[in-house]
Structure 1
């Protein structure tokens, strides 16, 4: 396929798994000879959370003020859809061969542009599907899937959901990991990072995604409290957490659970909350951790699992899809996400030398199978099915 101009739309410039996926996909497509431009609403004006080897376009976005939590989320999503519609209001801004949305915000904007006949259609990657109590949010999520010309998923789990619930076909394109950025070899900056976070002798348990219900942070806290009974110097690092959705009530539940367990939060204490982590520090954060705890309730793929494995860090994951799709039985420690005792046992097992060595070797091998180039190549058939047909040049 000759070089395509591809507009990739994501919901945010912040370090979330879907945003990281879009930037890496854009880089891989550019390496294949296409021009992929990653777009995202950018109310801060700071741009994307990391530099990228592909063009990026932070879209001007308005600040949003809401009176209630639910109202604020609806107002925010509506504003971000309108941000995209303003940006793509001219033919010049729509001068792409392919439009590819990765969430409901971009998907709704592209659906409207399709109805206005400004674009021919669009591809949509469904990373996962949320359960919204607000009917407007639910309708936007549904429309962004139903209106797409071609549907893609990062895992078979969600492709099957689309087939069973919507009666539509979706292709599985998978995910990837940048092995040049995520490496097992220690770096001098790792020691500096330990000091900056206030890490002691450990062991160190890493949780990625902030205090969020689908990440099962409460389950991780309950398991970590059990681990501390055996390893009193253990520390839990809760990294990330940038989200368009409001997790205030769940965060309060987690804070109450920490207080009840006598686990203090702060620099050098039992629990360290980092907030969003600079991209330059992520590989080091995986390396200074003894284990990644990721027993999520719901995931599209779980990109941080591959990143941790590429850095030589053992991973604990839920014994359910999508993890059971791309991981073999010996690649990680599989647990029931509803069983804090089982998660605690997995944490303890990951610290034993024999288990740790086996997981490290298996994880490095598994990560090497997931190259971004192969992932990008799997997108090309879908792009061909929704690309703009440009007129042939007229020769005198």
Structure 2
């Protein structure tokens, strides 16, 4: 397939898994000879959370003071304003990675500004708000082709929508995420006042589907045996409102005498610069990622590439791409099981085995292979361009 111009749309410029996937995919597509341009609403005007080796567009976006419905509606309209002319729609393929971009592209399709679009479903949310559910459904039903990052979600799409989705997977940049210690490691350790540990890392902030409460309960048990243990809760930038769940997490921390702050036994970092993430993985003794619902869990591959043992749920998608011995599998609703895995991750023999297996598993997931699968999926969806005529 000759070089394509691909417009990729994601929901924000913040460090979330779907956004990280979108940027890395575009970089790999560019490496295959295509022009892949990542778009995202950017109310701050600061651009994406990391520099990218692909073209990016910060879509002008308005500040929103209302609820999540108001926010999503505004972001859809921000996209429609940006792509409101034929010149802005001069792409061969339009590829949405979420319901916001998907709804904007569905409207553009009805306005005959684009011929159709591809939609990646990283995961499906169970929205209580009908309008949010309707937007999610429309972004899937209106797409010409559907993609998922794991097999479990292709089955869910088939069950819920009667539609076929193709599995395209995920990747990890082994050049950026590596186990070799660097000077930045000590900088990160000092910035967050990390002691001798053990250090438990959780990525995703306080979010119910990330099972932060289960991690907290397990960590409290670990602290009974390791008084110097610290829990680092990194990230948390989200369009959805997690205020209620966050309050539950802080109440549980208080019960256990573990107030969260910028230092101490529980450290809440907020969004972490991309350049610091490899170092944060390396200084951690383990990644605790027993999610209740996950599209893929990109941070698991990143941690493994950095030589950090991972604790994951004994359920899809983790059971799809990880084998026994690659990670420590747990029942995510059993804090005792998670705590037991945390203790196992500290045993030298287990750590050595997990580092070896995890590194090999991460190396098997390249962004180039992921981009090649996307290139094949774009076939039949690309806008046909007329060849220039010659007198």
User: Which TM-score tier does this pair reach, normalised by the shorter chain?
Assistant: over 0.9
With the length of structure 1 as denominator, give the TM-score of the two structures: 0.98
Quick one: distance in 2 between partners of 1:118 and 1:24? Answer: 27
Residue equivalent to 1:281? 276
Alignment of 1:30-69 (within 5 A): 30-66=30-66
Quick one: distance in 2 between partners of 1:156 and 1:172? Answer: 6
Give 1:265 shift.
1.8
Match of 2:189 among 182, 189, 194: 194
Quick one: distance in 2 between partners of 1:163 and 1:131? Answer: 16
Match of 2:137 among 142, 145, 160: 142
Quick one: distance in 1 between partners of 2:263 and 2:389? Answer: 69
Say whether the 8 Å CA contact 1:127–1:154 is kept in structure 2.
yes
**For 2:51, what is the secondary structure of its paired residue?**
coil
Alignment of 1:201-280 (within 5 A): 201-280=196-275
Residue equivalent to 2:175? 180
With the length of structure 2 as denominator, give the TM-score of the two structures: 0.99
Residue equivalent to 2:330? 335
Say whether the 8 Å CA contact 1:200–1:268 is kept in structure 2.
no
Residue equivalent to 1:4? 4
CA shift digits 1:36-61 (9 cap, x unpaired): 00000000000000000000000000
Residues paired across the two proteins, number? 391
Residue equivalent to 2:341? 346
Residue equivalent to 1:316? 311
Quick one: distance in 2 between partners of 1:353 and 1:110? Answer: 51
Give 1:266 shift.
2.1
**Moved >3 Å (runs of 4+):** none
What is the alpha-carbon root mean square deviation over aligned residues? 0.6
Give 1:331 shift.
0.2
Match of 2:302 among 303, 307, 320: 307
Residue equivalent to 2:83? 88
**For 1:238, what is the secondary structure of its paired residue?**
strand
Say whether the 8 Å CA contact 1:219–1:338 is kept in structure 2.
yes
**For 2:41, what is the secondary structure of its paired residue?**
strand
Quick one: distance in 2 between partners of 1:325 and 1:210? Answer: 24
Say whether the 8 Å CA contact 1:150–1:385 is kept in structure 2.
no
Say whether the 8 Å CA contact 2:281–2:308 is kept in structure 1.
yes
**For 1:30, what is the secondary structure of its paired residue?**
helix
Say whether the 8 Å CA contact 1:100–1:123 is kept in structure 2.
yes
Quick one: distance in 1 between partners of 2:386 and 2:111? Answer: 20
Say whether the 8 Å CA contact 2:262–2:269 is kept in structure 1.
no
Match of 1:369 among 359, 364, 371: 364
Alignment of 1:23-34 (within 5 A): 23-34=23-34
Residue equivalent to 1:20? 20
Give 1:160 shift.
0.7
**For 2:344, what is the secondary structure of its paired residue?**
helix
Residue equivalent to 1:395? 390
Give 1:292 shift.
0.1
| Runs of at least 5 residues in structure 1 that lack an aligned partner in the other structure | 67-71
| Runs of at least 5 residues in structure 2 that lack an aligned partner in the other structure | none
Residue equivalent to 1:69? none
Quick one: distance in 2 between partners of 1:347 and 1:366? Answer: 20
